[in-house]
């Protein structure tokens, strides 16, 4: 037990805040409340702050560092790929030197927050 | 145009190789590449214009800023810096000589005796403690005011950082690596914001280009409502990406300043400056 804990502590010390288990996209049809919550999380400066870099319908003063988030179903037929992109899995990081922060991998957002945001982004 | 540069531009790849070995690095080649990169990115902006930060990217913002600079909010700070300087004139003259217009341009430089980068602010405080005076705080207040007074007297002269030893090259290389390496919870590097994405907007903030970053410091920021040093700004940018900031005047930030100032060699000193 102690050695396990020690192992964990060392791992933590080395990797800092890096977490390495990606999450699965929700399959159930999200409720209107979930989508509203996802919108709030996406716009909030202290949470997703997606507007810092992406134009999103209904969001004021967006940045233009990343592409506008539109037609997401068309661009991400597989919802899991969208979750992975926001979470920041290694396979989803294909653009070199991208500004897109790895929200799950670096613990910026919780897994449930990422799922909620994805549910909202997927309606765009 | 250089083919690798074109590829770097189209892919948004950092202009300077991210990891490096001191032996293979040529600062002058780096600087030329840096300038060429910005030239290629914005053919209509000449290198000298980069001393005006993010304002060069918008005619409207530039007009507002120019209006602000006509009666700039840092004038009182320059006067206060002058008063502070004259109060301890004997000490300062012993350290810096009698011509106040010849001081700012010497910094930052690599001191071969102590094998460290010496910044203007570092030299001001060292001068004070060597003369038995109390050092100023590092980020704002008196240190920024004296620095502003010296910058104002040096306006129009050109940044001229020299690298003349392996130790100096090592300090430059550390600064360069720091600049290029993503860090913090947001996984962002200085280069991603101020090279790859300069001219773009993060919310409504236009990202300035790293070329010219050090010319106009210290800076009076509307957000601060007072004058701050370059290292204060470094701390701010690091906090914004949720990285643990280093201390103002730490070796890390002095090396970063050394690298950044070298990149701006040949550009005019126009401090103190005003920014949003």
Asked if residue A53 is part of any domain, the answer here is yes
Element (H, E) at B142: helix B142-153
Domain range enclosing A84 = 30-121
Do residues A83 and A24 make contact, with C-beta atoms less than 8 angstroms apart? yes
Asked if residue A84 is part of any domain, the answer here is yes
Phi-psi region of A111 (alpha: psi -120 to 50; beta: other; left: phi over 0): alpha
Do residues B232 and B240 make contact, with C-beta atoms less than 8 angstroms apart? no
Q: What angle do CA A24, A30, A34 make, to 5 degrees?
A: 100
In angstroms, the separation between the Cα of residue A18 and the nearest Cα of chain B is 9
Do residues B25 and B169 make contact, with C-beta atoms less than 8 angstroms apart? yes
The proportion of chain B whose per-residue pLDDT surpasses 90, expressed as a percent, equals 87
In this complex, which of A17, A63, A88 lies closest to B200 when CB atoms are compared?
Answer: A63
User: What's the mean pLDDT when you consider all of chain B?
Assistant: 92
Judge whether B127 counts as a catalytic residue: no
Domain count of the fold of chain A: 1
pLDDT over 80 at A3, yes or no: no
| Interface check A47 vs B, CB under 8 A | no
Chain A residue with the nearest C-alpha to that of B187? A101
Report the half-sphere exposure of B106 (CA within 13 A, side-chain side).
16
| Interface check B9 vs A, CB under 8 A | no
Asked if residue A40 is part of any domain, the answer here is yes
Tell me the CATH number at A88: 1.10.760.10
Asked if residue A21 is part of any domain, the answer here is no
pLDDT digits (tens, 9 = 90+) for B6-22: 445 444 445 665 555 54
- B205-206 and B201-202 beta bridge pairing: antiparallel
pTM assigned to the model: 0.90
pLDDT over 90 at B247, yes or no: yes
Radius of gyration of chain B (CA): 18
Asked if residue A20 is part of any domain, the answer here is no
The proportion of chain A whose per-residue pLDDT surpasses 70, expressed as a percent, equals 83
Average pLDDT of span B255-271: 98
Among A96-100, B3-7, B84-88, top mean pLDDT goes to B84-88
Asked if residue A70 is part of any domain, the answer here is yes
pLDDT over 80 at B4, yes or no: no
Chain A residue with the nearest C-alpha to that of B206? A63
Average pLDDT of span A94-98: 90
pLDDT, position B50:
96
Average pLDDT of span B164-185: 96
pLDDT, position A17:
57
Least confident of B16-25, B73-82, B113-122, B254-263: B16-25
pLDDT, position B231:
98
pLDDT, position B12:
44
pLDDT over 80 at B170, yes or no: yes
The helix/strand count (H/E) of chain B reads as 11, 7
pLDDT, position A1:
41
| Interface check B19 vs A, CB under 8 A | no
- Of B256, B211, B257, residue with least CA distance to B31: B211
pLDDT over 90 at A18, yes or no: no
pLDDT over 90 at B23, yes or no: no
Asked if residue A9 is part of any domain, the answer here is no
Asked if residue A49 is part of any domain, the answer here is yes
pLDDT, position B13:
46
pLDDT confidence bin for A41, thresholds 50/70/90: very high
The proportion of chain B whose per-residue pLDDT surpasses 70, expressed as a percent, equals 92
User: Cβ separation of B186 and A106 shorter than 8 Å?
Assistant: yes
pLDDT over 50 at B219, yes or no: yes
């Amino acid at each position: 037990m102690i050695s396990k804990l020690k192992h964990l502590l060392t791992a933590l010390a080395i990797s800092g805040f890096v977490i390495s288990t990606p999450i699965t996209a929700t399959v159930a049809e999200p409720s209107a409340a979930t989508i509203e919550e996802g919108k709030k999380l996406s716009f909030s400066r202290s949470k997703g702050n997606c507007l810092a870099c992406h134009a999103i319908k209904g969001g004021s003063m967006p940045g233009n560092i990343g592409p506008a988030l539109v037609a997401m179903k068309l661009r991400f037929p597989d919802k899991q790929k969208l979750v992975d992109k926001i979470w920041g899995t290694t396979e989803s990081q294909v653009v070199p030197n991208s500004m897109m922060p790895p929200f799950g991998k670096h613990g910026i957002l919780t897994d449930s927050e990422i799922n909620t945001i994805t549910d909202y982004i997927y309606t765009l | 145009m250089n083919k690798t540069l074109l590829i770097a531009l189209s892919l948004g790849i950092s202009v300077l190789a991210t990891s490096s070995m001191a032996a293979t690095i040529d600062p002058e080649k780096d600087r030329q590449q840096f300038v060429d990169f910005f030239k290629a990115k914005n053919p209509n902006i000449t290198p000298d214009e980069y001393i005006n930060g993010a304002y060069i990217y918008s005619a409207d913002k530039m007009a507002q800023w120019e209006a602000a600079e006509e009666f700039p909010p840092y004038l009182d700070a320059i006067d206060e810096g002058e008063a502070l300087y004259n109060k301890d004139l004997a000490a300062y003259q012993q350290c810096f000589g009698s011509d106040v217009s010849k001081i700012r341009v010497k910094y930052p430089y690599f001191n071969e005796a102590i094998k460290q980068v010496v910044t203007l602010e570092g030299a001001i405080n060292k001068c004070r403690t060597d003369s038995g005076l109390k050092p100023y705080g590092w980020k704002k207040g008196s240190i920024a005011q004296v620095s502003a007074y010296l910058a104002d007297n040096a306006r129009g002269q050109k940044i001229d950082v020299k690298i003349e030893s392996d130790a100096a090259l090592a300090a430059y290389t550390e600064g360069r690596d720091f600049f290029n390496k993503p860090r913090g919870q947001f996984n962002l590097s200085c280069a991603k914001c101020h090279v790859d994405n300069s001219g773009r907007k993060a919310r409504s903030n236009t990202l300035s280009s790293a070329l010219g970053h050090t010319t106009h410091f210290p800076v009076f920021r509307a957000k601060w409502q007072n004058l701050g040093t370059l290292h204060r700004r470094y701390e701010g940018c690091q906090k914004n990406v949720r990285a643990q900031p280093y201390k103002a005047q730490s070796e890390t930030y002095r090396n970063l300043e050394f690298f950044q100032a070298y990149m701006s060699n040949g550009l005019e000193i126009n401090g103190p400056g005003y920014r949003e």
